[in-house]
Structure 1
Amino acid sequence: MPSPAPARFIDEYPSQRLKQNRDIHKQISQHKSQRLRSSRTLFYSLVVPKRHVKDVKTALERRRVYDSDRKIRPATTDNVDSLHSEGCYVVPTNISQRTRDGAVDEILQSLQLADLAGRVLHVICEEANDRSAQSLMEKAVKTWLTELSTTTRAPDVEDVEALLRGLPTTYSIYKPMLLLPPTSFQSPGWRALLSACTRTQVKKLFETLATGFGVTHVATNAPIPLHAKEGVENIVRSPTDLSPLYGDFGPVVSSHVPTTDDLDHAFWVSAKQNSITQVWAPRYTMFSRGNITEKARLLTLPSVRSSVERGRQDGLGCAAVDLYAGIGYFAFSYLAAGVDQVLCWDVNAWSIEGLRRGAGANKWTIRVMGAESSDVYKAATGDLRTSRLLAFTESNELAPQRINVLRRHIPPIRHVNCGLLPTSRGSWETAVAALDPSLGGWLHLHENFAVGEIESKALHVRDEIQRFAVALASPEGERRSQVGEVVLGHIQRVKSYAPGVWHCVLDVHVPPSKGPGGT
């Protein structure tokens, strides 16, 4: 937080004070006001790398679907869920929302913009009749500037319009928190103004923002780093670059193994996507908005629906495993799709607590297992089917032995989700082993692929899964021909992860490793 500016005794010069007040009021009143909100209609905007902006804009203009009333603006990590979103821009269109979320190429095809697929990283929906982030932001900042001009130690404000132009144009509200892009209030004008303000004046700015947006907390956040500052892998995906600006975000806990008291006193937020509520502690747990399309796909995925239906018909039910559960990104979608039970693994105790709270918010029963093996054996003696979620706060390397103990007491595992980026390779063998051996099932493997290598790399993954299936089905080296063929059912392009790199999900079907009789 900037240190207080030295006192300048401006009250000794009342004429200067009055002139400064009039100048600020005049600048604010002369600034072009935003159009009033008249509609909640959403319009598509395209997130495009800088080198393709001109071509995309020209293509939209040629089709007469470019929205000239809205400016092309830099994209932020709120637009592109990526570690490398720099150099991307949001190009607005006047095409109203007409399809559900989906892969970029599918949406572009539905909009008759398929020829832009190679140049568009992401498609987002915005309100064209009101840049709501800008109008709400400006209203709050204007209020703050007006109040600032009346304070005893008011700093000089030379160019209000430049300050207002430099406000963030995007934001996220995760009740009760306003999350701003990391570049917020970082323009030269804003840095100079805030450095001249006292701590109280700076705090008042973010308090005014919180009031204007109807929240109690304000923060900025940078993308989740793959490595911690010490250079080691950020296995728990902690949001190390969250910067609280206003509100009590709870005590800082250095350990990744929080106590009950730590969990109770932490600051928790929530979001709803696809009618499913998720809960997390922003200081300790990540939240990925960009996974919304994959979450939605699971809700209606034919392989999931058929597994659920088959479980109802044979009376055995249907279970799924999420080896990187987090706060329930995909586990909750399986439950909403009708899966009877989901077994979850995550090493981050903060994520598991978010999973527990989110389950409660969605009215799903959950049982959190301790790290001790005895907890699993005790659970096996009870009625596990009363819990829709079984959560393990431990490495998924332990999943095979846990599943072996529990398999006779839970529905057949017909789906396994491996949602770790940039690769889930370390869990593939565990995923194959988790499937019910007499029924087989589906693996949903999250991977990052270079654009030109998606198909070839996907086939390589299929071959690797085949190798694991053979090894598990024939531990004593029976011939491969005795094992059914692993099938690459679908490649889903989820979103751009970095320039030239796509986050993909591979739907892979693994045949039974044993006959119906268990042989």
Structure 2
Amino acid sequence: MIPTIPVLLAPANLTKHLKVFLDKIQWREKSKLIARYTQISVSQTASGDQSTFQHNNNNDNNSTQPLYQDGHDLTLYMAMALLPVQALASIHNPGENQRISLWHILQDPSSPLASLEWPESLSDPSAQKSIFLTWMHPNTFATPRHLLAQTPLEKLQKSIADFLTPFLQSWANEKPTCDNSNDKSNNNNNKNDQLSLELLPQLIASISQKWEHYSDFTLLPPSSFLTPPWPVVLKQLEEQDQAEGHKNGIMARWESLIQEALNSSHIARKAIIPVHDVLRRPQIRPLTGDWRLHNQYKAWVEQDQGLLEHQDIGNTLGKDDANACSNDLANTTPGNADTTAPTKENFSQAYWAETCQNHVWYRWAPMFTMFSAGNITEKERVAKSRPIFDARGKTVVDLYAGIGYFALVYLVHAGAKTVHACEWNPWSVQGLLQGAIKNEISYKVYHGGATGFADQNSKDQRNEQSFEHGHVSRPSHGKKPKEYGQLVVYPGDNSQWIGFFENQAHHINLGLIPSAEPGWVLGVRALCPKEGGYLHVHHNIRVGEEETFKSYLLKSLHELFANWKQDSSWSLNIRHMENVKSFAPMVFHYVVDVECRPQITLSSSIS
């Protein structure tokens, strides 16, 4: 039979009150899922297991849908579907053309509707007797069909409920063994005593309602499937799967249904990134999909909190492969990050996710780098920056490029001629290069250590470095492809590469949080001394301390200009302060646009 859904029929004068109430208890998640009942007249012709439903907007004599019940004129009624459907699964389906009044349902204390606290406008018996519950096929609604489609969350909840129901019933019916000498058996029996169908509502209710979804990759919140009793249930599934020799593929089916519901091949659970980790390495637990080199770290049940064990490439690859990891990037890795620098072979052995935001493609290795979805507003601001700070044909320096959050935007949308991108995490560097290829941007990447002196020897230093070019072929699509500027990538510590772009830039992006202050001096040194430009300073600021930070920033920059430009007369003006996102309670991530102009530029513009 074609599935049906529960629908409430209410008089027009009660529709608003009922809508607000159903939205509040999350039983009616699609606000436009409403239709005048006179437009829903159903005629059903059964043929075996097939049923045909038709719309009938006329109140003719051929309609099999009675428009009156218990003295109530249903031509003045509105119909609204109750979603998710499983919320009312325990209420008996009245069947075709049958309706039960809300008042009648509330007389049954076991009804899920009886346990709700109804608002005063809907608690009067006369009002409740005028509201009816019926069951209809989705095609009976004149509203667009997508409004009745299951959301990913609803699909996930239903799939999990259908999958777990037979297991919970089976575990609850298992009889304890008579041999009390086997402690392990007794422990298993005690655990099974706790597993029953009564746990299903609690399990479904604890499923995370939000997640991060990209092309074929979904990142679940830290608590996903870790809230009790999930660990016990998942552990029991794994043990039963192993006991059966995986012949029934219990865990394989479990992973498949999660993938289908979330429309992702690769699913992982994230954890909070340690503040002390200078590389900002993500902590995630792979759950489904082929993670290639890191399949050994897949687990649904956490045994410990060591979620960074995969970061040690040496331990992951083994002794022979670890000896091959001899890359100069290891010498430029800052701080206390004890990792063996990866090789090109390592990059090919990892899973790479990708996503497209505002027509810009990004690629990253989730096991080693994170994707910050929260800075999309700042990326859009840079893309539409021409009226504010025109970067067309200009030179840009991104001192903390990451996988290219802003470097790629400056090339694709802002029209920059050259973007010098510094990044010390080798996995982020590789993501930046893959993103450049995906966006059809030509690039040049330097290798080897740099001395970093800004003087007459800069050209000689540049000649001594080894670099590789990435020329991207642009296939013809019937129109001339768009030409972008060039991306120049400097792996390692940005201070070691300053001699390659000092006194050249018109825009400097300082995108390190919680503070990019270590890079302020590099930003000042990179600015073109004749034209000046903009410093785009990222910083986390506590509520109420905005003006204090702006004063401190300008004071610090004046000192840096006097020291490195040998000119204290530079004009520094904060043109804009953008609130990007919340970082912590009472702390926000800001970007401060500081326009920096030398006095000679201002004098010539006035004259």
| TM-score normalised by structure 1 residue count | 0.66
**Correspondence for 2:280 among 218, 221, 237:** 237
Shift of 1:142: 3.0
Whole-angstrom distance in 2 between the partners of 1:33 and 1:391: 58
Greater mean deviation of Cα atoms: 196-205 or 352-361:
196-205
**Does structure 1 residue 197 correspond to structure 2 residue 216?**
no
Partner of 1:306: 390
Whole-angstrom distance in 2 between the partners of 1:281 and 1:381: 23
CA separation of 1:346 and 1:220: change in aligned 2, threshold 3 A: same
- Describe the SS at the equivalent of 2:271: coil
Could you list the runs of 4 or more consecutive aligned residues of structure 1 that deviate by over 6 angstroms after TM superposition?
32-35, 92-95, 127-131, 149-155, 379-387, 513-516
Partner of 2:261: 212
Whole-angstrom distance in 2 between the partners of 1:94 and 1:444: 41
8 A contact 1:437–1:513 mirrored in 2: no
Shift of 1:133: 3.8
Whole-angstrom distance in 1 between the partners of 2:154 and 2:30: 20
Write the deviation string for residues 98-124 of structure 1: whole angstroms up to 9, x where unpaired: xxxxxxxxxxxxxxxxxxxxxxxxxxx
Write the deviation string for residues 366-386 of structure 1: whole angstroms up to 9, x where unpaired: 122112448832679999999
**Does structure 1 residue 158 correspond to structure 2 residue 200?**
no
Which amino acid in structure 1 is aligned with residue 501 of structure 2? Answer: I
Whole-angstrom distance in 1 between the partners of 2:441 and 2:287: 34
Identical counterparts, % of pairs: 28
**Correspondence for 2:210 among 170, 173, 184:** 170
Larger RCO (CA within 8 A; separation ≥ 6): 1
**Does structure 1 residue 418 correspond to structure 2 residue 467?**
no
Shift of 1:514: 6.8
8 A contact 1:175–1:271 mirrored in 2: yes
Shift of 1:422: 0.6
Instruction: Please give the residue correspondences for 1:88-487 in structure 2 after superposition, counting only pairs within 5 Å.
Output: 132-145=151-164, 148=167, 156-159=195-198, 160-199=200-239, 200=241, 201-227=250-276, 234-239=277-282, 241-251=283-293, 252-254=310-312, 255=339, 257-302=341-386, 305-308=389-392, 317-335=393-411, 336-373=413-450, 376-377=462-463, 388-404=486-502, 412-474=504-566, 480=568, 483-487=569-573
Write the deviation string for residues 181-208 of structure 1: whole angstroms up to 9, x where unpaired: 1111122232332232225444532232
- Describe the SS at the equivalent of 2:497: helix
Aligned length: 384
Whole-angstrom distance in 1 between the partners of 2:374 and 2:147: 21
CA separation of 1:172 and 1:263: change in aligned 2, threshold 3 A: same
Which structure would you say has the larger Rg?
2
Partner of 1:490: 576
- Describe the SS at the equivalent of 1:354: helix
Write the deviation string for residues 453-472 of structure 1: whole angstroms up to 9, x where unpaired: 11221121111111111212
Shift of 1:33: 8.2
Whole-angstrom distance in 2 between the partners of 1:325 and 1:263: 19
CA separation of 1:192 and 1:139: change in aligned 2, threshold 3 A: same
Whole-angstrom distance in 1 between the partners of 2:6 and 2:601: 71
- Structure 1's unaligned 5+ residue stretches are 1-28, 36-63, 74-91, 96-126, 228-233, 309-316
Which amino acid in structure 2 is aligned with residue 345 of structure 1? Answer: C
Shift of 1:363: 1.1
Write the deviation string for residues 24-68 of structure 1: whole angstroms up to 9, x where unpaired: xxxxx99x9899xxxxxxxxxxxxxxxxxxxxxxxxxxxx9x976
Shift of 1:128: 9.4
| TM-score normalised by structure 2 residue count | 0.57
Which amino acid in structure 2 is aligned with residue 235 of structure 1? Answer: V
Which amino acid in structure 2 is aligned with residue 433 of structure 1? Answer: R
Partner of 1:86: none
8 A contact 2:378–2:580 mirrored in 1: yes
Shift of 1:70: 4.5
Shift of 1:357: 0.7
Shift of 1:272: 1.4
CA separation of 1:459 and 1:303: change in aligned 2, threshold 3 A: farther
Whole-angstrom distance in 2 between the partners of 1:455 and 1:93: 43
CA separation of 1:147 and 1:361: change in aligned 2, threshold 3 A: farther
CA separation of 1:301 and 1:204: change in aligned 2, threshold 3 A: same
Which amino acid in structure 1 is aligned with residue 527 of structure 2? Answer: L
Whole-angstrom distance in 1 between the partners of 2:232 and 2:505: 59
Which amino acid in structure 2 is aligned with residue 471 of structure 1? Answer: N
CA separation of 1:33 and 1:444: change in aligned 2, threshold 3 A: farther
- Describe the SS at the equivalent of 1:306: coil
Which amino acid in structure 2 is aligned with residue 204 of structure 1? Answer: R
Partner of 1:111: none
8 A contact 2:216–2:265 mirrored in 1: yes
8 A contact 1:206–1:218 mirrored in 2: no
Whole-angstrom distance in 1 between the partners of 2:366 and 2:444: 23
